[in-house]
Amino acid sequence: MENEGNPSVVQPGLGDVAVATPPSLRRIVVPVDGSPFAERALPVATWVARALETPIHLVEVVARPAGTEPAIHYLDGLARRYAAPSWDVAPGDDPAGAIIAATDADPPSIVCLATHGRDRSATILGSVATRLLDRTTRPVMLVGPEARPPCAGDSPVVVAVDGVDEADDAALVRVALAWATALATGVVIATVAEPVPGSFHEGRPLHRARGPSDPEGYVAGLTARAAHAGTVATTRVIYDPINVRDGLVRLVDRTAALLVMGAHRRTRPLRALFGSHAARVVHDVAVPALVVPLDRG
């Protein structure tokens, strides 16, 4: 069960969410390794590059000196195919570090990375993506096995909020508004909540295993407080009895352009990433996922 959405125009000066500005990126860093799977990030990167008028920068990490020459020929051909004006061969055995260095070389930049299609949640995003998310302070665009560029120009940006920390959710909404402005589209502020029966005791609040206690009121409040003139924001609440993954994957189909979601690192071990449900959302969702680090600035 889900609501039909409440479209509204987000007005300036309605709350404490700062006015969102379109992301101003210097380049889109796409890590490749010679495999067709890694190249799956390139159509998404090309879509972002055209929409934001931002160049693509290819990078391949080579652990052995003998691999430098083949990598040069490979990157040169790939750059011609995808109109990437720059590329680099990074020697070493630390792909995540090399990717971060490529973004730091010309800030602000963003990484667009294809993730591995594995079944176990611990490895569902692949070791490079896991290490990158653990170390970076910037959003990372992840392209899962099912992800493709949007099929329509008016496909909205969907931002997933969970009601655990309202400040974090407001930050995610701000990021989503910035991208929606840059892509000239709307925003869907969505949450997944556990459906629970009403209490037998009048006035007693509902207790949900996941989702805000008042899902519709919560997403409506984020919409009303989002200070961004001219952007159409729609709220969606998905009631799913199983888990967050099922609800979000059902919502974020090919009619969306991008999914914005948060990543926490305060208490999780490295391999846990940012929750098994969120990892599976990235793995299964039909569009790219912009993962925003919430606890590192």
Taking only the tens place, the pLDDT of each residue in 229-248 is 467 889 999 998 878 888 89
Q: What pLDDT does residue 225 have?
A: 64
Does residue 50 register a pLDDT over 90?
yes
The answer to whether the Cα torsion of 113, 116, 117, 123 is positive or negative is negative
What is the reported pTM?
Answer: 0.86
Helices (H) and strands (E) in the chain, counts: 8, 11
Instruction: Considering only residues 71 and 134, tell me which one the structure prediction assigns the higher pLDDT.
Output: 71
Judge whether 285 and 260 are in contact, CB under 8 Å. no
Which of 201, 215, 202, 270 has its CA nearest to residue 244? 215
CA distances from 186 to 7, 115, 129, 207, 235 (A): 10, 27, 28, 32, 11
**How many Å apart are CA 190 and CA 209, to the nearest integer?**
17
What's the token pair of residue 269? 């071990």
* Confidence band for 62, pLDDT divided at 50, 70 and 90: very high
Q: What pLDDT does residue 227 have?
A: 53
Q: What number is the average pLDDT over the span 158-167? A: 91
Per DSSP, 82 falls in state T
Q: What does the angle CA 67 – CA 54 – CA 102 come to, to the nearest 5 degrees?
A: 35
Mean of pLDDT over the chain: 82
**How many Å apart are CA 285 and CA 283, to the nearest integer?**
6
Q: What number is the average pLDDT over the span 197-221? A: 74
Q: What pLDDT does residue 54 have?
A: 95
Q: What number is the average pLDDT over the span 77-105? A: 95
Instruction: Considering only residues 296 and 75, tell me which one the structure prediction assigns the higher pLDDT.
Output: 75
Q: What pLDDT does residue 204 have?
A: 61
Per DSSP, what are the bridge partners of residue 260?
159, 290
**How many Å apart are CA 238 and CA 258, to the nearest integer?**
18
- The SS3 of residue 145 is coil
Which amino acid does the sequence have at 5? G
